[in-house]
Structure formats: structure tokens, C-alpha cells
Amino acid sequence: MTRTALLGTVGALALAALTAAPALAAKPATTGANPFASPSTLPFEAPRFDVIKDADYLPAFRQGMKIQLAEIKKIADNPAAPTFDNTLVAMEKSGRMLDRVSLAFFGVVQANTNDALDKVQTEVSPLLSQHQDAIYLNAKLFQRVKALYDKRDSLKLAPEQAQLLKVYHEQFIRAGAQLNDADKAKLRDLNTQLSSLETAFQQKLVAAAKAGGLVVDDKAKLAGLGDGAIAAAAEAAKERKLDGKYLVPLQNTTQQPALSSLDDRATRQALFERGWTRAEMGDANDTRATISDLASLRAQKAKLLGFPNYAAYVLADQMAVTPEAAQGFMQRMVPALAAEQKREAAEIQAQIKKDGQDFALQPWDWAKYAEEVRKAKYDLDDGALKPYFEVRTVLEEGVFYAANQLYGLTFKRRTDIPVYQPDVLVYEVIDKDGSALGLMYFDYFKRDNKSGGAWMSNFVQQSTLLGTKPVVYNVCNFTKPAPGQPALISFSDVTTMFHEFGHALHGLFAKQTYETLSGTNVARDFVEFPSQFNEHWALDPKVLAHYAKNHQTGETMPADLVEKIKKAATFNQGYSLGEVVAAAMLDLEWHALPADAPKQDVDAFEKAALAKTGLDVDDVPPRYRSSYFLHIWGNGYAAGYYAYLWTEMLDDDSYAWFKAHGGLTRENGDRFREMILSKGHTEEYGPMFRAFYGKDPDIGPMLENRGLAPEGK
């Protein structure tokens, strides 16, 4: 997941306004000593987390918005005829203070929030929505942009300039610039309500996840977890002043990591149900009323803007273009996927019987017995893998090593850069020619005050116009080890590290003039392409041998264990792919609601929507239930969760190209960097991909990589 999604409370259309450049001449006297009033003096303009206080954010937001609105007024009121420089470049240079505080605040509030920051988010979210509307619904400003767009063919613009004009014009149209005054007023009200509800959802979910963790009194009930995991559970309980107890915290997904190891079925069921109902307890953290309101208001917004539903509105500027195309793409997977789910469920039920148990398979049993099947079929024990995956080693000898082999990058640890939380690591990224490329933060361990999931974002975005280089961060939610214990992770976690670093590369390799087009500021169904592509290098023989080393002995993972990982790579795909497809289809169903639809009963709607998928959603529930689907209700992926699957098609096609041309080589890496990773949104996605791949994307390599039969076979 990327920053564009992360700033859901601001809105994707606000990016051009909120990620812009140094303020124009006027500087109000009231800025005082606020740390966001001027650019940071740290390398790469990294945020001054050593001096930033919680109390600094709200004044900086207010002042930043005030400054930018004055700048925008000056642009709109300019008596000179509109030109590219006095309109678009001026807009790119507006809002610099707001950019600084927005990027820092939303990074911290997602990863390390507290009551004070939550209050700031609650107050500032509707203000940012209103600020966005003040820019994109400014009739005089739009007329300047439109005047340029209408004569674009005669302006003799460079390709990136022409693209910037096209993108700005689209953003104004999609933001409602062509509405009449009455409808603009309605839209402003809808946007304000939506931003407040999205913030409320995020905050309720963080609290619900914290409250939903499973507290266990008896250590015996945690049998199967292993000493390290049990020690971590004891430490987690201690941090909440539950001495003598054990706490298994919730991940944001439906399935919880501990379910694959816990021997006690009652404990498994209790943990699953704590996660399944975390935000449906009828308390202050219940998200269902918020969801129902969000779905209704989004449908109303879409109708106001001339679309039949919110999904149609969202996808109009995506690579897929229409909800029908996205649904059709996923439906092509369903026959093979449903058959695989049925086969896997029967296999797991047989394993339950083989173990001498007499109960029907339930979702809280799947991971446990699937792991037993995997051990039996591939002689592969996940517990035997973890000693080879220590977080820092994976990062420095795996993730960084692959980036060096493909792109020539090197990394230098920086302990002089202040961080917002002590666990955060910072590295300077050095390019193949020895020049400084940017700065990179890594925040890997779960905290009660951190949103669930994993993501990448920027503290500073790249722009040659502004003279800024990228300052990027990756955030994950790995279990933090007890003091003195190594930070051992699963291979799934390893893959997540490579994934999020793929996003980081997309941001680090940006070389755009204009920040609006820079790095990861691309469509939802394109932005996950570089990240998912980077996952492939986790299993590359050369890379794996470099980082998969026993944390005690330093010995490289044995060849037979490596081979078992590879053979098991397509295991359980009915589940792992099915839960994502079900979630993506659920997302599109929510956002296919018309404006005149009544408020929905969330549980009833979800049940009906999942029944339409054609998948085994009883045994394989969606990866995210509606009530904790953070991507679509709080993080900007509304009607866009299918993008993970769409971009998997793109990444598997690209990896197939790599394999056909020699695999892990600098020549291939440099080509991918030049044709994909460094392009930002300077080109349209279809032509960009075809130029690299040589043809339109096809689903064959994706299904083959998942171990499912290609279409027609």
C-alpha cells in the first residue's frame, strides 16, 4: 500500500494541492517558530522529529492552508492571460508548508498515534476536505486551466508538461469544477461528511483492534506457538499491565498468524472470533453505522458527478477504466479458483480425520491443518524456516542486496536522523553513480497505536522543480520479540518486506519535474505493480542464499529446505488467492450501490455480496470483512482493492519477461527502472506497460505462478 492510499482523509484529488512547492513571496508573521514554517535543515529536508511536538501540527495545518489559499487566489486573480508557468507551475509551487505538515502528520498518525494526534486528525480532516474543494471548485482557477487545456495542441508543451496539464484538467473535472453553484455546495457538504467518517472509521478500527486482542490466562492454551512467540505474548500483556497473562494481538486481516500453530481448538476459535467481530461489538468502536453512511454518501457523490455509482467514478481514470472490466478480470479466475478451494477443503478435512479428530472444518481450523498438510506433502515446517529470517539480516542482506544487484544501489545507516519512534531505522540510499538518491525509514514492529497492515509513503516527495529528493518510509506490523530475543519472521513477512520496498523503489527512482506526477502518484491499479514485482526476488536463488542465514550459526539455509519452499510456493492458493478475490468483489459490490439505495444492514449486505462470488466463502472468508476493511473505508482504496490482483497480472507478466531475458541482471534492472520505475505518471499506463512487456497484459503467467491452470487448459 502507498501514500496516495494512506492520505484517504485528504483525498487523492488533493495531492496536487497538498504536495506542492515552496510558498510564494508572502510570509505571514504568525508562523513563528513552528517547525513546519520553513524547510527542514536536516539532510534531504527530513522532518525534524527531534523538535516537532504534537501541539505543532494543528497550527501548521491552519497556517499552511491559509498560505496556500492566498497563493491560489493570486493565481486565479492574475490579470495576465493564463500560461503554463503562471498557472500550472504556480500551482505546483503553492502550499509548501501544508505539504510539509501533511506528509509528516499522516505518516506519524498512522504509525504512532495517540489521543492528541487523533484529536488533530478529527479536527483537520474536514478542514482539508474543505480546503481541497476551495481549490478545485474555484471557478476562476478552473477557467485558467481549461483555457490552457482547450488550446493544448498549440502550446508546444514538452511531454511532461502536456501530461501535467491533462492530469490537472482531469482532476478539476472529477472534483466537480463543472457543477453549478448549488451542486458545488452539495458536493462540499458531502466531501466534509465523508472525510469525517473516514477518520472516524480509522480511529474506531485502531481502538477495536487493540481491544480485540485475545487475553489468555493459562500458558497451556498457547501450546504450539513456540517459546519465542509465547514470550512475546507475555511481553505484550505486560505492556498493557496484564502481568501474569498472555496477549495475542490482532493483525488487520481475517486470519491471524497464530492460528497456524495453536494446538488448542477452543483457543483458535476464540482468537478467530475476536478478530472476526472486533469492530462489531455494539460498542463505541463498532464501525457498521459508519460504513453504511460512507457507502450511501459515496453513491450520492458519484451521482452528483454524473456517474451511476461510486465504482464507476473511481475506475474512470484507472487502467481498468470500468467496474465491469475489473469484475470480468476477477471472474476469469473463479472457475479454477473455486475448484481449487473445494479440493483444498477436502484435503484439509481428510487431515483432520487423519489426526483422529471428528469435527467439520471451520475457518479457525484451516491454517492449522493446512500447515500439517504442507508439512506432509513438502516436509516443510514454517517453524524450521524462521531461524533463517532475522529482520535486519533480511533487510540488509536480502532486500538491499537485490536492489544492489538489479539497480546498483547501496545503503548507509544514518543514526543522526531523528525518528518518531525508537524502533525506526534510517538509511541513506546511494545511487549507482555514487550520488545520494534519497532517504529511507523502516518501522517494522507492531504497536497498539499503529494502524494494521503494511504500507509505504513519503515524508518528502521528489521534484526537480522544487529541488527535493525523496524521503520514503516502509511500515509493517511484525511481532516484536521479547527483550534479548532475535526478531525472527515468517517467509510471508519476508515477502511483505520485499513488497513494501518495491513501492519504495518506485518513489526513490522518481525523476519528475512536477511533484503531481512524481513517483507513486499513479493509478491504484498500477501503483501495486512495482511492489508486487519486487516480491519475486525474495525467492531468487542468488538473493535467498545471501540473506537466508541461521541467526545463531550464520549457516546458509540448506538447499533441500530452499527446494521445499519453492515446491510449496503454490500450496494453499485456493485460500490465499480466494480470500483476496472475495474481498475485492465485496469492495466492488459496496461501491456499486446506486444513490437511491437505502442505508444498508452491513452484515446482511456482506452475506449477500459474498454469496454472489461463486467462491467458498464459508471455509475461505474474505481477507478483510466489511467492518475492518481499512483499505476501502479509511485508506483510499474504495472500489480499488481489485488493484492488487490486476497489478499481480502486470508483475507476473514482467517477471516472465525477466526470466526470458536472463533474470536478475543489472541490464534488466536498469531497463525496468528506466521504462517503469522512474516514469511516475508522466505517461499513460497501457502504453508504458506495453513498451516494456511488448504486448498487452495477459492473465496466463499469473495463474501459472499461482499453480492454477491457465485459461482454456
Catalytic positions, written as ranges: 500
For residues 272 and 576, give the distance between their C-alpha atoms in angstroms, rounded to a whole number.
17
For residues 598 and 436, give the distance between their C-alpha atoms in angstroms, rounded to a whole number.
55
What type of residue is 473? Y
Output helix, strand, coil percentages for the chain, rounded to the nearest 5. 60, 5, 35
Tell me the DSSP string of 417-465. S--SSTT-EEEEEE-TTS-EEEEEEEEEE--TTS-SS-EEEEEE--BTT
For residues 590 and 605, give the distance between their C-alpha atoms in angstroms, rounded to a whole number.
8
For residues 563 and 569, give the distance between their C-alpha atoms in angstroms, rounded to a whole number.
10
What type of residue is 66? K
What type of residue is 479? T
Largest CA distance in the chain: 84
**Which strand (E) or helix (H) includes residue 466?**
none
**Contact yes or no for 174/302 (Cβ under 8 A):** no
Alpha carbon 431 to its chain's center: 25
* Of 390, 672, 704, 329, residue with least CA distance to 534: 672
| Cβ contacts of 689 within 8 Å, gap of 6 or more | 650, 676, 696, 697
**Contact yes or no for 591/311 (Cβ under 8 A):** yes
For residues 480 and 13, give the distance between their C-alpha atoms in angstroms, rounded to a whole number.
36
**Which strand (E) or helix (H) includes residue 592?**
none
**Contact yes or no for 499/395 (Cβ under 8 A):** no
Residue 543's alpha-carbon distances to 58, 393, 402, 489, 539, in angstroms, are 45, 12, 6, 17, 7
For residues 636 and 199, give the distance between their C-alpha atoms in angstroms, rounded to a whole number.
11
**Which strand (E) or helix (H) includes residue 32?**
none
**Helix 288-304 with 602-611: angle, nearest 10 deg:** 70
3-class DSSP string for 151-190:
CHHHCCCCHHHHHHHHHHHHHHHHCCCCCCHHHHHHHHHH
3-class DSSP string for 495-529:
HHHHHHHHHHHHHHCCCCCCHHHCCCCCCHHHHHH
